[in-house]
Amino acid sequence: MLELANLEVVYNDVVLVLRGISLDVPDGQIVALLGANGAGKTTTIRAVTGLLDVHEGDITKGSITFDGTRIDKKDPSAIVRGGISQVMEGRRVFAELTVDDNLRTGGYTNRDKASVQASYDRVMSLFPVLADRSKATAGYLSGGEQQMLAMGRALMADPKLMILDEPSLGLAPMLVQQIRDIIVNINEQGTSVLLIEQNANMALSIASHAYVMETGKLVMDGPAQKLLEDEDVQEFYLGLHGEGGRKSFREVKHYKRRKRWLS
Angle between helices 99-106 and 143-155 (to 10 degrees): 30
pTM here is: 0.87
How far is residue 16 from each of residues 23, 136, 183, 187, 217, measured CA to CA in Å?
18, 43, 32, 34, 11
Exposed, middle or buried by CB within 10 Å (0-12, 13-18, 19+), for 84? buried
Per-domain residue ranges of the chain: 230-263
Amino acid identity of residue 83, one-letter, is: G
Q: So what's the pLDDT on residue 253?
A: 42
The whole-angstrom separation of Cα 207 and Cα 25 is: 11
What is the residue-level pLDDT of the chain in tens, covering all 263 positions? 999 999 999 999 899 999 999 999 999 999 999 988 888 999 999 999 999 988 899 999 999 999 999 999 899 999 999 999 999 887 789 999 999 999 999 888 777 888 889 999 999 999 999 999 999 999 999 988 999 999 999 999 999 999 999 898 888 888 899 999 999 999 999 999 999 988 888 999 999 999 999 889 998 899 999 998 888 787 776 655 444 444 443 444 434 444 444 44
Q: Which long-range contacts (CB under 8 A, 24 or more apart) does 98-102 make?
A: 98/134, 98/135, 98/136, 98/137, 98/138, 99/130, 99/133, 99/134, 99/135, 99/136, 99/138, 99/141, 99/149, 100/134, 100/135, 102/138, 102/149, 102/153
Beta bridge partners of 197: 34
In 3D space, the residue among 47, 36, 50, 87 whose CA is nearest the CA of residue 198 turns out to be: 36
